[in-house]
Structure 1
Amino acid sequence: MFSPPLHRQRHQFVIDFVKRNKPKKVVDLGCSECSLLKKLKFHREVELLAGVDINGTKVRKKMHGLAPISTDYLQPSYDQLRIELYQGSVTQRDARLRGFDLVTSIELIEHLTLADVESFSEVVFGYMAPVAAIVSTPNSDFNPLLPGLAGFRHSDHKFEWTREEFRTWALKVCLEFGYEVEFTGVGQAPSGQQERVGFCTQIGVFRQLGGRDGCNMLLGDNAEDVFTYTLLYSINYPSLRDNNTLRRVLVCEVLYWAEKLKSGWMEEKTGKRNGTYTLCQTAGGGEGCLSERCMEMEENQTACGAEMRSLVEQCGKSVSEDQEEKDEEVFWPNFQRQENSCTLRRCVSVPLDVLWSCCPKVSALSGSLSNLRHLLMDDPEVKLSQDGAAVLINYQEQELEEEDYNDLEDSGFAEAIQHSFTAEQEEDWEANV
């Protein structure tokens, strides 16, 4: 009868409320298979998302669908999100669910006995005392319009209230616990019958008088803490507010942009124009950002314990072909003399202030240049210069890898591996056939 289906309209009502009011702590009572929670987790204004259901089997069946996905780890946001799922009865108190911004009870109350409804009212509005609550339940005034319906809409329903009965209960809750309520619903009646029968699902939106500072008239803030629910599942989503996550993402960004800047510089170095070449390119691919910066070539002598550096390029200047040849004549003989006795490593030095100015995400993640240096200092994946002012990136790493592979090819090892792999494939294929 309804498009979209009625259960989706109920969930959308909650989602729209969350978008408007931006609650940080939300709990869904009677969460069942967590379908509403799976939608709410994408609204990252929510920092704590909880669910409660008396049927732990249903919760366990679907709870892992609330786990973070790969993109949550690869591209974490600054938003925080923790999800907690409990097995327990809404007629019992649990201190972990006190003080939430929003409690939702979607098509739950009609499954309780009238005696349990009284306990539900005291627990939710007296003990949990949320800033707001959304309670939905079937409207029996609408039932005559449902084709083929005899009795209640579900075999487990203990009652189905008319609009007047729902109104009476809601106003009593407001009087006892200090709330105000707005009546609405979802599932429009056919044209001309809306006023007579109302919505198919009736909804009460409760708001605490005085907000968080409002007084709880029954159990109040002096109620003792009790823990009756069983925690079934809890997970913290990765967030850039966590230092370990922040450092991991920052290091990835720094290494990516350092390699990008190095590649740009090397392209300019090999692509000479009119006897000169620009020192490097900006992060966006344009020229000029690093052409005024000092990009050094550093030789790190690891085996002998001494460090040797040679400034290949002059800071902030264009280098002519003649000057380049002269520099190489000075540099390479020194390198060759040390090659037999020491392990040498050529590096491109990318200044941190260049990364800071050229890469907006790096500056946004670290907050300041000094903080950037501090976050990178102890990370094993990042090699800094002695003064900590630059990131060192291997200059010939790709060439060395290619040389190693060529050596393997020359030795016949790679060919042997290929033959072995091919033979094994053929055996498996024949076995499968």
Structure 2
Amino acid sequence: MFSPSLHIQRHQFVVDFVKRNKPKQVVDLGCGECSLLQKLKFHREIELLVGVDINGAKLSKKKHILAPLSTDYLQPTFKQLCIQLYQGSVTQKDARLRGFDLVTSIELIEHLPLHDLDKFSEVVFGYMAPQTVIISTPNSEFNPLFPGLSGFRHSDHKFEWTRVEFHSWALKACSEYGFKVEFTGVGESPPGEEECFGFCTQIGVFHRLLGKNRHMSGDDVDNHFSYTLLYSINYPSLHDNNILRKAVVSEVLYWVEKLKTEWLTENQEENPVEDCVRERGDHGEIFWTNGDVQECNMLHRHVSVPLHKLWICCPKLSELTDSLRNLVQLIIDDPQIKMNQDRSAVIVCIQKEDLEDDDPNDLMDSGYVEANNMERERWKVDG
């Protein structure tokens, strides 16, 4: 009857809310197949994403869809994300889920016995005390529009409410726990019959009133750990120093090679290396100076690329490291990078082919540039 399908519309409602309001901590109660969590994990304004379901076997089977993708490792950002799955009942308290920005309960409450609804309200609105709660449930007034439907929409439903019944329950929860609610829904009625049937799925968006947090004693808050943690994964982030170091080294290697190639091309065309001015260093090495780049001859010929040159040419390095001093600390011990004595420049070897090739594009034949580009793409960071 609906395009897109009704469950997609329900999930999209939550996704749109997340886009607008950017909550950092989100928990989905009755997460089931984890399909909503799978959509939300791509919205990296979220730092902690949690799913709770009473069916632990289903969570264990579906947890793999929440694992990081290869692109999360190849393009890490400074944004952090932790995903956790818990087995537990929404009528039980767990201190680890208190104070979240957003709690979602999508097509859940109708699966609870009516006598558990007061406990659900106490746990979600009173104990968890989030900033926002989104609850969806079937609207029984819409059921006559389903051909051949008799009874409830699902065999496990314990009830299905009219709009008045849902509004009454929601307003009671608001009064008891200090929330206000907005009513809406997804799955529109046929044109002209909106008043008669309403939305197929009715939704309440509950906002906690400022200063209206139900008081909990220390014992009541801290001693409830009813859920079992089944899965926890931290996504790769540049806050991890090892990941940051790898990203910085990759950028440095790419830009050093690029600048070396450009400098050699320019000097072979305008001023051969042998004609540059020579200066002898403190340890017997010979330097040829030319602008911002130096060439030195130790056992083999090398090009020295100053760090300040890298800093100017590669804005990504300044974003990643904040200062030249931090840049040095991140690359100084890496075996792929050779630096000069005062740590002001990176030394890169000049291969014989670099001096003999007339066409700088021939460097592509070796696959070296392609490899460096691939390596750089692996650790490319979103601006």
- Structure 2 length-normalised TM: 0.86
Contact between 1:26 and 1:50, CA under 8 Å: does it hold in 2? yes
How many residue pairs were aligned?
Answer: 352
**Which secondary structure state, in structure 1, belongs to the residue aligned with residue 339 of structure 2?**
coil
Quote the Cα distance in structure 2 between the aligned partners of 1:57 and 1:298: 72
Partner of 1:243: 241
**Which secondary structure state, in structure 2, belongs to the residue aligned with residue 308 of structure 1?**
coil
Q: How far has the Cα of 1:150 moved from its partner?
A: 0.6
Partner of 2:284: 308
Identity %: 63
Q: Which of 216, 220, 225 pairs up with 1:223?
A: 220
Contact between 1:126 and 1:220, CA under 8 Å: does it hold in 2? no
Partner of 2:69: 69
Contact between 1:106 and 1:134, CA under 8 Å: does it hold in 2? yes
Quote the Cα distance in structure 2 between the aligned partners of 1:366 and 1:37: 32
Question: Are residues 1:169 and 2:169 paired?
Answer: yes
Partner of 1:395: 350
Q: How far has the Cα of 1:74 moved from its partner?
A: 1.2
User: Structure 1 pair 362/398, CA: closer, same or farther in 2 (3 Å)?
Assistant: farther
What pairs with 1:49-128 in structure 2 (closer than 5 Å)?
49-128=49-128
Partner of 2:257: 259
Partner of 2:232: 234
User: Structure 1 pair 153/317, CA: closer, same or farther in 2 (3 Å)?
Assistant: closer
What do the CA deviations read for 1:27-83 (whole angstroms, capped 9, x no partner)?
000111110011111111111100001111111111111111111111111211110
Q: How far has the Cα of 1:346 moved from its partner?
A: 3.3
Q: How far has the Cα of 1:364 moved from its partner?
A: 1.4
Q: How far has the Cα of 1:312 moved from its partner?
A: 2.5
Partner of 1:366: 321
Contact between 2:92 and 2:123, CA under 8 Å: does it hold in 1? yes
Partner of 1:185: 185
Opposite residue 148 of structure 1, the aligned amino acid is: G
RMSD: 2.7
Contact between 2:25 and 2:48, CA under 8 Å: does it hold in 1? yes
**Which secondary structure state, in structure 2, belongs to the residue aligned with residue 80 of structure 1?**
coil
Quote the Cα distance in structure 1 between the aligned partners of 2:226 and 2:279: 65
User: Structure 1 pair 298/123, CA: closer, same or farther in 2 (3 Å)?
Assistant: farther
- Structure 1 length-normalised TM: 0.76
User: Structure 1 pair 296/201, CA: closer, same or farther in 2 (3 Å)?
Assistant: farther
For structure 1, the residue ranges without an aligned partner over 5 or more in a row are 279-293, 300-305, 319-326, 336-343, 400-433
Contact between 1:101 and 1:131, CA under 8 Å: does it hold in 2? yes
Contact between 1:298 and 1:349, CA under 8 Å: does it hold in 2? no
What do the CA deviations read for 1:388-408 (whole angstroms, capped 9, x no partner)?
001111222878xxxxxxxxx
Partner of 1:348: 303
User: Which has the higher relative contact order, 1 or 2, with Cα contacts under 8 A spaced 6 or more apart?
Assistant: 2
Q: How far has the Cα of 1:191 moved from its partner?
A: 1.1
**Which secondary structure state, in structure 2, belongs to the residue aligned with residue 152 of structure 1?**
coil
Q: How far has the Cα of 1:233 moved from its partner?
A: 0.8
Opposite residue 313 of structure 2, the aligned amino acid is: C
Q: How far has the Cα of 1:277 moved from its partner?
A: 6.3
Partner of 2:366: none
Quote the Cα distance in structure 2 between the aligned partners of 1:34 and 1:267: 55
Opposite residue 314 of structure 2, the aligned amino acid is: C
Contact between 2:260 and 2:305, CA under 8 Å: does it hold in 1? yes
Q: How far has the Cα of 1:380 moved from its partner?
A: 2.9
Quote the Cα distance in structure 2 between the aligned partners of 1:87 and 1:297: 71
Quote the Cα distance in structure 1 between the aligned partners of 2:352 and 2:133: 60
Contact between 1:296 and 1:349, CA under 8 Å: does it hold in 2? no
User: Structure 1 pair 148/381, CA: closer, same or farther in 2 (3 Å)?
Assistant: same
Opposite residue 91 of structure 1, the aligned amino acid is: T
Quote the Cα distance in structure 1 between the aligned partners of 2:26 and 2:293: 59
What do the CA deviations read for 1:1-28 (whole angstroms, capped 9, x no partner)?
1111000000010011111111000000
Q: How far has the Cα of 1:384 moved from its partner?
A: 1.3
Over alpha carbons, which structure has the higher Rg? Answer: 1
Quote the Cα distance in structure 1 between the aligned partners of 2:225 and 2:246: 37
Question: Are residues 1:43 and 2:13 paired?
Answer: no
**Which secondary structure state, in structure 1, belongs to the residue aligned with residue 184 of structure 2?**
strand
